[in-house]
Amino acid sequence: MLYLRSAFTNVDLMKSKELIKQHLNTCSVIMLLVIFSALNFYGTEATKTTEIRFDFRPHILKYIFKGQEPKTDFSFADEAVPLRSARVNRKLQSSLEKHNFGHIHSNILQRKAERIFPIIEPILKAYGVPDDFKFIPLVEGGFSEGTSTKGARGLWQFMPGTARAYGLRVGHGMDDRTNIKKSTIAACRYIKGLYDEFDNWTLTAAAYNNGSIKLTRAMNAQNEDNYFRMHLNHETGVYVYNLIAMKAIINHPEKYGFKQYALAAPLFKNLDPAELVAAN
């Protein structure tokens, strides 16, 4: 009996030793795998990935400078005029000469500005339209606010169909085109729509004069999106230049032959007519 118990005890010991040996082998393999993995992780260069970046900045045309260019009279809605171009410089000088005292011999436009600017400026600002668009009524209507041969009328020279499209009543004895506030609100809505289409204030002004369809056709035909490099009909081709010239003359009349007519804050104080007499 004692012999059998000893035999079983020896068998158990042998099994235990075998199990312990197997466990040690398994642990050794695991440890080696961990060591090799660590060496491989630290010794292998990380795979480089290509980073793709998208440029969401707005496209700025070659001759349209924003921000960094100093603001001068020769700009429109903070889009500077490329005076380095001889053609552009010549057209601007022609517009300045056309509107100076030597050709106009009157301060009617300044008087008109005195009357309408305090009304239309806050409306332009409220609709997010650049302040320089206030010179459109001076260029469009000039000395008169009557009806043109084409049927345009009022400060903003709306055609009947366009006026109705932007909420103005035309016909049956009523014409909101002659109402400064209502027509200015309609003009702002029209201008904002044009800007949404062209994403450029200079082109927006040109489209206001020529219509978006005609301007788009000209851009496609010439493969050009810069107003100052385009060849347009005469009226539209000088339109922005006339706006820039009007801005310069209204803001600095003394430089262009007019005496003592300066914009002050508040804008256009009640000046005596004698102070607005043009100097020849």
Check whether 199 has a pLDDT greater than 50: yes
- Kind and range of the H or E run holding 248: helix 234-251
- 144 vs 159, which has greater pLDDT? 159
- 134 vs 44, which has greater pLDDT? 134
Q: Domains in the chain, start-ordered, CATH in brackets? A: 75-276 (1.10.530.10)
SS3 at position 171: strand
Which of 85-89, 142-146, 193-197, 243-247 comes out lowest in average pLDDT?
142-146
Q: What is the pLDDT of residue 104?
A: 67
Whole-model pTM? 0.67
225: nearest Cα among 57, 56, 61, 58:
61
State how far the Cα of 161 lies from the Cα of 232, in Å rounded to an integer: 24
- 143 vs 123, which has greater pLDDT? 123
Give the confidence band of 253 by pLDDT, cuts at 50, 70, 90. confident
Q: What is the pLDDT of residue 113?
A: 87
Check whether 166 has a pLDDT greater than 60: yes
